[in-house]
């Protein structure tokens, strides 16, 4: 009888211990999940810019584990630090994508999609010579990050992989940027000009190097080398040394000339080149011609620079960005570039001109929410001069 009581007592104690352990395990998991979510919202709120596929869970052995993938070392460090500060005992299995693997766009314009398939929505584009951070390179599509931080998938055939050493060499190489407002072509010799002599076309902002590192001009054409090693000859007058292009001061005329040069061009969702573009693509391409890198989407651009309220539109200056959308929620859905006297240029159906002045015959009723001034705000969050971007120099 005494043995039976001892056994029952031991069983009861074990059961209580098990319940306490289970409760402790449940509480620890909940705390870890809360920490991960808080870090997610604080460090990586925009999935377009930062990969944050991290979760807290109990593995098959019952160990509290925090694992997954992120594109930023700072996100991993924030999670580990916060968990330690909260006294959580855990196993870390967080993988950070490499920061020393690169790719470069090898065709005039490469389309980046929201998923690794051709049928996926187009998210953005990159142009020839644009450096890309290579996150994953398996399969037909590569996951990359553009110079404005945007993450998407690009066909592997559209880019060429570069090592960290090759990128350092490229940054120190003699490089030229296409400054022509209109598409130009490179040919296979200084004299050739036939349709079967074309090597590639080039758009505004394309970056090339020169064979042997020494510029050579024949028959008015510059001998150029493309990111994948192909060479050609293109009109030298349409190129500027990258240092000269990147050293530009803010110039609204450069920005607006680029935008107006595309007047009539069709709207293309995800387009960010002079071939065809969407509304925020027009802003990006126009500013890039002035050596300034803007954020990708209108909703992101709207949070940069100095805010100017819609009612104060008469104080706007050339080059300011105008944002339109839902007046009830404040949600931004469209962006335009201001010129003067209420007039602006934008991509809506096609690149065209309209006005925010209610008295103008070109006035549109789409709710004008607010504007931002980029001028004077270079090197503030979301606005980067190419000359100060570490991927370029």
Positions marked active-site: 279, 334, 346
CA atoms within 13 A on the CB side of 138: 0
Q: How far apart are CA 139 and CA 320, in angstroms?
A: 42
Q: Measured between alpha carbons, how far is 123 from 346 in angstroms, rounded to an integer?
A: 19
**Please, what's the b/e burial string for 245-255 (b: 16 or more CB within 10 A of its CB; e: otherwise)?**
bbebebbbebb
Strands 91-96 and 64-70 turn out to be parallel
| Cβ neighbours for 208, distance < 8 A, ≥ 6 positions apart | 128, 129, 175, 176, 178, 202, 224, 225, 226, 227, 239
Angle at 75 between CA 70 and CA 77, to 5 degrees: 120
**Phi/psi of residue 128, nearest 5 degrees:** -50, 130
């Amino acid at each position: 009888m005494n043995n039976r009581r001892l056994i029952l007592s031991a069983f009861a104690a074990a059961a209580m211990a098990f319940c306490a352990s289970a409760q402790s395990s449940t509480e620890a998991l909940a705390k870890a999940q809360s920490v991960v979510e808080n870090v997610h919202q604080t460090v990586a709120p925009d999935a377009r810019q930062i990969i944050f596929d991290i979760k807290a869970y109990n593995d098959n052995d019952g160990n509290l584990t925090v694992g997954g993938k992120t594109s930023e070392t700072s996100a991993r460090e924030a999670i580990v630090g916060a968990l330690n500060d909260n006294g959580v005992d855990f196993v870390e299995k967080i993988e950070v994508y490499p920061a020393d693997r690169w790719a470069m766009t090898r065709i005039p314009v490469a389309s980046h999609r929201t998923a690794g398939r051709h049928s996926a929505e187009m998210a953005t584009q990159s142009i020839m010579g644009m450096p890309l951070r290579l996150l994953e390179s398996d399969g037909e599509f590569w996951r990359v990050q553009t110079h404005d931080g945007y993450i998407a998938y690009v066909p592997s055939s559209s880019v060429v992989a570069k090592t960290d050493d090759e990128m350092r060499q490229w940054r120190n190489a003699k490089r030229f940027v296409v400054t022509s407002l209109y598409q130009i072509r490179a040919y296979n010799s200084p004299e050739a000009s036939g349709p079967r002599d074309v090597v590639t076309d080039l758009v505004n902002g394309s970056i090339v190097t020169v064979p042997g590192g020494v510029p050579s001009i024949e028959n008015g054409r510059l001998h150029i080398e493309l990111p994948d090693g192909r060479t050609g000859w293109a009109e030298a007058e349409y190129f500027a040394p990258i240092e000269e292009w990147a050293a530009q001061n803010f110039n609204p005329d450069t920005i607006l000339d680029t935008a107006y040069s595309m007047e009539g061009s069709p709207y293309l969702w995800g387009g960010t080149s002079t071939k065809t573009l969407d509304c925020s693509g027009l802003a990006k391409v126009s500013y890039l011609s002035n050596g300034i890198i803007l954020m990708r989407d209108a909703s992101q651009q709207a949070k940069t620079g100095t805010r100017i309220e819609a009612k104060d539109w008469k104080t706007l200056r050339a080059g300011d960005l105008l944002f339109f959308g839902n007046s009830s929620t404040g949600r931004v859905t469209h962006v335009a570039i201001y010129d003067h006297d209420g007039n602006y240029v934008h991509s809506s159906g096609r690149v065209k001109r309209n006005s925010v002045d209610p008295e103008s015959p070109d006035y549109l009723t789409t709710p004008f929410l607010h504007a931002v001034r980029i001028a004077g705000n270079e090197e503030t969050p979301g606005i980067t001069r190419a000359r100060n971007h570490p991927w370029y120099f």
